[in-house]
Amino acid sequence: MIEADPAPSARFLRLSDALAGALAIDPRGLRGKRALLRVDFNAPVENGEVRDFTRLDAAIDSVKFLQRAGARTILMAHFERPKGRVVLEYSLKPIAAAFARRLGAPVAFADDCIGEPARAAIARLPEGGVLLLENLRFHAGEEANDPEFVAALAEPGDLYVNDAFSAAHRAHASTEGLAHVLPAFAGEAMARELDHLERALTAPARPALAIVGGAKISSKIDVLRHLLDKVDMLAIAGGMANTFLAAQGMDVGKSLCEPDKFENARAILARAAGRGCRILLPVDVVAASAFAAHAPHRICDADQVGADEMILDCGPRSVDDLVAAMQGARTILWNGPLGAFELPPFDRSTIAAARAAAECAKSGAAMVVAGGGDTMAALAHAGVAGDFTFVSTAGGAFLEWLEGRVLPGIAALAPGGRDRGAHESIV
């Protein structure tokens, strides 16, 4: 049986652990304190209405913890890419109302994230109150990690909490800079991400299987290289698998393919063989005459694709091979769909594999962790996103983590990664 709740990471200080310890000494430890909480509210909005609450809901645990402790919670977030200018359509004001409904408590709004509008709104905030500041990226200093902007953000704060793993790959003022000037902690959503991701890749229960799909190998070469040293089995699917097939001399017809990456593909296959990592590539495929929903198609062996055809999905034997690998694994890590899942019926392999992975998680046979924007959409399409052990809300940060990169927002929270020690008391 694989436990769903991993032990907390020792690499960072979790908000609830740190502050619960402080409160045990001084029950007034957080009461009235001003907590700057970095969240990811970059959610899809249409006609002023939020269409997906996943990222808003991820912040609720940290906010409620701070509310119960009597802190004043000051939410910081970005929305879209206004590039340092005030763009009214990118205002976070509609998000404040939507988050208030999800939280079940009032959420005030400040018309700026620094200066007098922010100071005045914070001054009015009662103990246990919640305030959302205006879009951080209305100021160029945010993405530049400008020290003056960092100081302006930090000025009203007593402590800093980063709860936005999805922005942790950016060394911005609100994701990295603040950790150097205030006592800094990982929020509950951040801690959950790191706990699960570390357990899935740093010290996975074995055998460990990674599934990597998506369109192009060029965007995931570093991911594949890093995973070869971490897992026992690596399944390569989606459009990127075509490059591996073609690199071995197979004709992939009009399929998406990157001939300039053939040497990379061959090197990855050779490295896997040398490390004893089993590579799973499609043995049969769904070939179609056009990239369109319900285009005429057929199932054929991977080396029997016609010159006027393109590969749009894995075939049933390939899915069976992948499901068998899942059933023998104790850790499953997934990034990227297996085919053109947005075009029926070329979503069949992704749906079948996702449901099989969900069964592994629900039965306790394996810890199943997934992440990436397309992956989240594919799992939602398959109706199983809630059945995995953990699904990351991050896109770029998840991909960089898979590559083995140091994420600035995480490094800044680690002991020794800040000017002030991460274990500094807030009371």
CATH number at residue 39: 3.40.50.1260
297 and 340 together in one domain: yes
Asked if the structure places residue 91 within a domain, the reply is: yes
188 and 235 in a common domain: no
Which residues of the chain have a pLDDT value below 70?
1-14, 16-28, 415-427
177 plus 113 within the same structural domain: yes
- Rounded CA separation 331/318 (Å): 20
Residue 55 falls in the annotated catalytic set: yes
For 111-165, give the secondary structure using H, E and C: CCCCHHHHHHHHHCCCCCCEEECCCHHHCHHHHHCCHHHHHHHHCCCCEEEECCH
User: Cβ-count burial of 104 within 10 angstroms (0-12 exposed, 13-18 middle, 19+ buried)?
Assistant: exposed
Asked if residue 266 and residue 164 are part of one domain, the reply reads no
Q: What is the pLDDT of residue 414?
A: 78
Task: State whether 88 and 167 are in the same domain.
Answer: yes
> Among candidates 375, 395, 388, 400, which has minimal Cα distance to 237?
375
What is the spatial order of strands in the sheet that 108-109 belongs to? Answer: 108-109, 130-132, 72-76, 34-38, 159-162, 184-186
Q: Provide the pLDDT for residue 3.
A: 39
What pLDDT does 417 receive? 55
The answer to the question of residue 382 being in a domain is no
Is the torsion defined by CA of 260, 263, 266, 270 positive or negative? negative
Do 37 and 93 reside in the same domain of the chain?
Answer: yes
* 93 given a catalytic annotation: no
Shared-domain flag, residues 23 and 126: yes
Instruction: Identify the residue whose tokens are 């399929």.
Output: 255
In terms of residue numbers, what domain contains 101? Answer: 15-193+407-411
The active-site residue out of 216, 225, 271, 278 is: 216
Verify that 188 and 257 share a domain, yes or no.
no
Whether residue 305 is found in the same domain as residue 231 = yes
Please say if 64 is a catalytic residue. Answer: no
Token pair recorded at residue 165: 């793993």
Q: Cα-flanking dihedrals φ and ψ of residue 166, to 5°?
A: -65, -15
Cis preceding linkage at 345, omega within 30 = yes
Is residue 92 within 8 A of residue 77, CB to CB? The reply is: yes
- Say how far apart CA 36 and CA 210 lie, in whole Å: 36
Structural domains counted in the chain: 2
Report yes or no on 401 lying in a domain. Answer: no
Q: What residues form DSSP beta bridges with 14?
A: 186
Q: How far apart are CA 29 and CA 311, in angstroms?
A: 60
Residue 343 lies in a domain: yes
Residue 393: the pLDDT is 79
* Cβ-proximal residues to 332 (8 Å cutoff; 6+ apart), any chain: 208, 209, 210, 211, 326, 357, 360, 361, 366, 367, 368, 369
pLDDT of 216 reads 85
Burial class (CB in 10 A: 0-12, 13-18, 19+), 174: buried
Contact 218, 261 (CB under 8 A): yes
Residue 85 lies in a domain: yes
Residue at 4 is within a domain: no
Per the residue annotation, which of 21, 128, 395, 396 is the catalytic one? 396
Strand partners for 311: 287
Whole-number Å distance between alpha carbons of 380 and 406 = 29
**Helix residue ranges, H only, 213-261:** 221-228, 239-247
Tell me what pLDDT residue 362 has: 96
Q: Within 186-260, where are the H helices?
A: 188-197, 221-228, 239-247
Q: State the angle between helix axes of 262-275 and 221-228 in degrees (0 to 180), rounded to the nearest 10.
A: 10
**Residue 216 annotated among the catalytic residues of the structure:** yes
Of 346, 365, 384, the residue at which a domain comes to its end is 365
Q: Does residue 128 lie in a domain region?
A: yes
Q: Is residue 224 part of a domain?
A: yes
- Give the active site residue among 14, 55, 348, 418: 55
Same domain, 45 and 173: yes
What is the C-alpha separation between 61 and 70, in angstroms, rounded?
Answer: 14
Whether residues 188 and 212 share a domain: the answer is no
pTM given for the model = 0.86
Q: Are residues 19 and 158 in the same domain?
A: yes
Instruction: For the beta carbon of residue 100, count every other beta carbon within 10 angstroms.
Output: 16
How high is the pLDDT of residue 19? 56
The predicted pLDDT at position 24 comes to 41
| Residue of 21, 128, 373, 404 marked catalytic | 373
